[in-house]
Amino acid sequence: MRKLKLIPKLLFLFTFPLLVHAQNNPVVNTGNIKTVNIAGQKVEFTTEHAYGELTVYSPSIIRVRLDQKKLGNDFSYAVISKPVKTTVSISQNEREISITTDSLQAKITKNPYSITFYTPDGKIISQDEKGLNTSWVADEVTTYKKMQEGERFVGLGEKTGNLDRKGSGYTNWNFDAYGYSTGQDPLYSTIPFYMGIHHGLNYGIFLDNTYQSDFNFGASNNRFSSFGAQGGEMNYYFIYHKHLSDIITSYTSLTGRMNLPPLWSLGYQQNRYTYYPDTEVLRIAQTLREKKIPADGITLDIHYMDQYKLFTWDKSRFPNPLAMNKKLADMGFTTTVIVDPGIKVEKGYQAYESGLKENIFIKYSDSTNYSGQVWPGWCNFPDFTSEKGRSWWRNEVKFFANTGVSGIWNDMNEIATWGNKMPSNVLFNYDGALASHKQAHNVYGLQMARSSYEGAKASMNKRPFILTRAGYAGLQRYTAIWTGDNRPEEDHMLLGVRLLNSLGLSGVPFTGMDIGGFIGTPSNSLFARWIQIGAFNPYFRNHAAVNTQSSEPWTHGEEVLEISRNYINLRYKLMPYLYSTFFEATQNGLPVMRTLAIDYTFDAKVFDTSFQNQYLFGKAFMVLPFESTKEFGNAYFPKGLWYDLYTDEVQQGETEKILRLSKNKLPVYVKESSIVPMQSLVQSTQEKPTDTLVLHIYKGQLNNSFVYYEDDGQSYNYEKGDFYKRKISYDAVKHNVTFEKAEGNFKSKFNQLKLVFHGFSTDAQLNNGQNIKDEMNSFLAPISKFDPQGTANPVEGAKVKSITLGNTPAQFVITY
């Protein structure tokens, strides 16, 4: 009996620690589902420890929300779309809830809550890691996903490291990363969107949470990938398509797509920290013209201001900025100026007094204005998360329009202050929701760029150019972005390529980096290679810091000047191709600068660190960036045929090749079946090219099409139909080039079309011995429908005017 009495005591001793652990467990799991409510395209449920909601946003997108308290106001600075009416089947039994569209299935296990996404034919795309699922540690919420065998991860915006993120972890907290290393994290902007790739499948996950967020792709563990945030809801969108490009298109259907930029912003931009006084600015512009270096922009850094105070000009350095900008405009240049968010605390200073009066500054919890130290000294900061603050900024931006400025460069908007330690108890309006610095920090830069765009659009009466350093998902709706304060080093140049490619994967088409490196002086060879690569970047800007050697092209010697001029010339000849590619980005969200992973997702070679820097510029050009110090480079050619841009030599795909490198030539190849429109050389986009559009057609085994696009390049008239758009197609079987009927009311600047065929035979005897001119007139029969002016009636009787025969290419000039 004594032994039997001991048993309950022993059981109590062994179970007591377990009970304490359960009651005080710092990790709270979602638990079992208790209640379910199905309403249309939405499933609402409660679990033991959470409230949840799944919404079908489209046939390919499902949104997941979880929180420990009842789900709050559905508000987002990133997502601008609403659910699309979708044919969906939702059912449940004791074990699970099933959601099925024609493109995607989701099954929610009830005990415990867990979600798995399937293809329509039942293949697992993504699933929660069993036993971990979604859980909370205090306010931090994290979702754990099972890492599939061989899974790769790409995207996440402006992140260092390799193209394939596998094995790495990242933090999203916008940071003033001056002179960052090639492995530093975080950097300036936050885009919590990535794509997973495995077993011939790919998917996207967008975590729409503005708190500091953390992503783990197998860093310090071999079990899971995860994503989470330091506060707020677990709120993510799951996207599935067969092609990576379609995932990007769906992601940008949620977060928006870029507006057409002004044409001049695609030209070469000459920057310096800093050009002053006005005579120096004009000297730089005049030198660019004298040395025949095409250029469209001059950018002014902080020394244009009076003691770094925003919305001012230094009267001694720039006594008449409007007159200076008029002179620049007459020379074909457009002016961009830097703006920082900090408003100097100074009695009598217009912007400060106005901000106080309107009560638009961010505040501590005791309602006093927060002050931080930046360039002008102690500053207050507008609250761009309030409509009142944005309205105030929009009104102030008129200052720039009134002084002839057309571009606004938003800097220091992480928010950056000396010390980089803004207190957490600073409060933001957050569009009426009142949020701490922890929640508002990552969207501050986005909202500043938004305010600048809206203000400039209203006051300039034309398309403004907006550039930002910081941002959040959706920034592409308002602004271009550049990669901040980089360094003049070989590995930084290649890191810049990967940063731009990753931003492109993350829905941002208009991106750039400081050519030559910002902090320090590049070697002549490095500068030459960098400017060659820059000619194939969406935003092409040369920039150098104060206290460094001047880095205009002519400062690196005659050889580098000639190299720079050649590649800038090429950029301007390609302007019809580039502008059309930007138009495509406004339609489908696809980037201008594209990692090979987009088109060759399941080719393991494109993820190899030896080849990961290669990228496509639009659909046609493959750019192979290498260090300027290398004599040889290992290149990979994906499936298909590739033409050397300079020689038309054909390279078979799915092969590696050692290339001999030279200082004066960047390896660039053209994809088979490509259609590339080009124009005559101009010194700025304000100069009209000749009236002949040159269309390069590359023979290939693939059908292809290209949408050629024109408008006036500066106004919003294209929104009213004032554009010229025409689809041009290449038939790889018949080798026909077809021009569909033109759309829009805009009169094309080109009256004549010149076709240049690459890879086609130029033998004078073709098909039964016909004369080549007769044969090509037959071959080009569809050209008779090409009407460069876009009138309703097609032009008949188009004939080949002249033929240039040689080894390759053959050229045919078409007249009417």
**Distance (Å, rounded) from C-alpha 284 to C-alpha 300?**
12
In the annotation, is 149 catalytic?
no
Give CA–CA dist 68/141, Å, rounded. 9
Active site residue 314: no
Q: Provide the phi-psi class of 654: left if phi over 0, else alpha when psi is between -120 and 50, else beta.
A: left
Q: Are strands 465-468 and 407-410 parallel, antiparallel or unpaired?
A: parallel
How many Å separate Cα 333 from the centre of its chain? 25
Q: Which residues pair with 422 in a beta bridge?
A: none
Instruction: Look at the chain and count its residues.
Output: 816
Q: Would you call the peptide bond into 809 cis, given omega within 30 degrees of 0 as the criterion? A: yes
Look up tokens 């995207």; give the residue.
Answer: 155
Sign (positive/negative) of CA torsion 77, 83, 89, 91? Answer: positive
What's 781's DSSP letter? G
Give the integer Cα–Cα distance in Å for 212 and 186.
10
Of 151, 485, 552, 775, the active-site residue reads: 485
What is the DSSP code (8-state) at residue 553? G
Block residue for tokens 């603050």: 389
Q: What values do phi and psi take at 280, rounded to 5? A: -70, -40
SS3 readout for 710-744: ECCCCCCHHHHCCCEEEEEEEECCCCEEEECCCEC
Measuring CA to CA, how many Å separate 463 from each of 449, 480, 584? 14, 13, 18
Q: Give the Cα separation of 348 and 508 in Å (integer).
A: 40
Q: Which two tokens stand for residue 674?
A: 């490509």
Query: 297-300 and 269-272: which strand pairing?
Result: parallel
**Residue 706 CB contacts under 8 Å (≥ 6 apart), including other chains:** 580, 619, 674, 675, 676, 677, 727, 728
The Cα–Cα gap between 380 and 532 comes to: 42
CA dist 682 and 684 (Å) reads: 6
Q: Does the active-site annotation cover 414?
A: yes
Q: What distances in angstroms separate CA 173 from CA 167, 209, 229, 488, 639, one per listed residue? A: 20, 12, 11, 25, 39
Residue 288 in tokens = 């660019």
> Could you give the dihedral angle defined by the CA atoms of residues 700, 760, 730 and 790, in that order, rounded to the nearest 10 degrees?
150
**Of 411, 489, 514, 552, which residue is the catalytic one?**
411
CA-to-CA dists, residue 19 to 16, 27, 213, 696, angstroms: 5, 14, 32, 75
| SS3 labels along 596-662 | CCCCCCCCHHHHCCCCCCCEEECCCEEECCCCCCCCEEEEEECCCEEEECCCCCEEECCEEEEEECE
- The pair of structure tokens assigned to 625 is 């960036």
CA 106, chain centre distance (Å)? 30
DSSP H stretches of helix in 201-277: 244-255
Amino acid identity for residue 448 in this structure: M
Residue indicated by tokens 């792709």: 217
Which listed residue (414, 454, 672, 710) is catalytic? 414
Alpha helices in 546-610 (DSSP H): 558-573, 575-588
- Residue 606's nearest CA partner among 129, 164, 194 is 164
Please calculate the CA angle 734-736-741 and round it to the nearest 5 degrees.
140
Task: Kindly tell me the number of DSSP H helices and DSSP E strands found in the chain.
Answer: 13, 53
Annotated catalytic sites, by residue?
A: 411, 414, 485
